[in-house]
Amino acid sequence: MSAFTAFPRKGILVALAIPTDARGRVMRRALGTHVAWLRRQGIHGVLALGSTGEFVRFTLEERKAILETVAELAAPLPVIANISDIRLAVAQELGRFARRLKLAGVAIMPPSFFPLSAEDQLAFFERAAAAAQLPVMLYNFPELTGNRIAPGTVAAFAARAPLAGFKQSGSEFSYHRTLVRLGRELDFSVFSGADTRLPEVFQLGADGCIGGLVNIVPELMVEQFRVHHEGEPGSVEPTASRMREVGRVIGQLTFPLNVAAGLAARGFDLGRPKTVISKESARLYVKVARELRACFRRWKLETGGGADGREVFRRRDHLGDSASSARPFR
């Protein structure tokens, strides 16, 4: 279990993908192999059970077990636990558990599905944070939650709770400007989920990135951070160009299945999908994995035992084309 580490105020953090088998069980060996490799690439921390980690597909007890496993495997890297849930009691329990694990902090998204007023968002954040008693990162991804965290809510929360960071994901790229200004005024770090636009993100003043593509091409993203934030000599354009190419290829497939395809191309085993997958998505998965693997070979990036992902869908009962034929993996 990891020792207590400070909340990371800058850097490249992985929104960690979680490998599971056909019964939905976490594949500890595969996870450990991947995390050890990420650490060797120089990443600065881990967001556990975020959107890329598909936290909504796990029970409370499964999430707690995963947090404990990630804390152990990732040490000494700082680990931030995403405790988001539509139920306040679950977020509070996960926050208390994160504190028992001595994690670096917790991330909180607005509860999803139902619309929330700014006042109700703030109340939820405050009560979840009070249970955790750890540094907090507010996590904005309105395309997934259906609820946007407004600047006023950010400022109000910072006045009442230990706001250490903010993660901005989704299509509203211009929001980074407002968040960076608030972060400087209120002393919190701004992390972006815009993996393929890091030069722009850093020019706007963001402190780092927490992204799904860190699972796949961490060395490209760490290099851009080092050039911009640490003064390492060189140009970011070569790696930025490669990131744009990764984004183009991976954009053919829906998130987070596209991250799994990238991991397959890089030589890592993410196991079986956690939900039913159509034959069309399975076809795209294989296509994306093949195209990415070709890119990695061209760029001379290590690919280990990388494959095209066909083994994930080898059995027909792992696919579903209709409500009558589809069944979940877990």
The model's confidence at residue 311, banded by pLDDT at 50, 70 and 90, is low
The DSSP 8-state label assigned to residue 171 in this structure reads S
- Residue 315: is its pLDDT beyond 50? no
Domains and CATH numbers, the chain: 11-234 (3.20.20.70), 251-330 (no CATH)
Contact 83, 10 (CB under 8 A): no
pLDDT score, position 305:
53
Question: What type of residue is 192?
Answer: S
Question: Which of 33-37, 210-214, 317-321 is least confident?
Answer: 317-321
Q: What is the pLDDT of residues 57-66, one digit of tens each?
A: 999 999 999 9
The DSSP 8-state label assigned to residue 109 in this structure reads P
- Residue 126: is its pLDDT beyond 80? yes
CA-wise closest residue to 283 among 301, 260, 309: 309
The model's confidence at residue 303, banded by pLDDT at 50, 70 and 90, is confident
pLDDT score, position 302:
87
What 3-state DSSP class applies to 164? strand
- Residue 102: is its pLDDT beyond 70? yes
Q: What is the pLDDT of residues 40-54, one digit of tens each?
A: 999 999 999 999 999
pTM: 0.91
Identify whether 256 is preceded by a cis peptide bond (ω within 30 of 0).
yes
| Rounded percentage of the chain residues whose pLDDT exceeds 70 | 90
| Rounded percentage of the chain residues whose pLDDT exceeds 90 | 88
- Residue 326: is its pLDDT beyond 80? no
CA-wise closest residue to 230 among 78, 42, 86, 18: 42
What 3-state DSSP class applies to 174? coil
Q: What is the pLDDT of residues 155-185, one digit of tens each?
A: 999 999 999 999 999 999 999 999 999 999 9
CA neighbours closer than 13 Å in the CB half-sphere of residue 32: 7
- Residue 3: is its pLDDT beyond 60? no
- Residue 33: is its pLDDT beyond 60? yes
Report the alpha-carbon distance of residue 146 to residue 243 in Å, rounded.
Answer: 28
Cα–Cα distance list, 306 to 98, 117, 242, 269, 291 (Å): 34, 46, 19, 9, 12
The model's confidence at residue 324, banded by pLDDT at 50, 70 and 90, is very low
Contact 273, 260 (CB under 8 A): yes
65: CB partners within 8 A, 6+ apart: 26
CA-wise closest residue to 321 among 283, 268, 274: 283
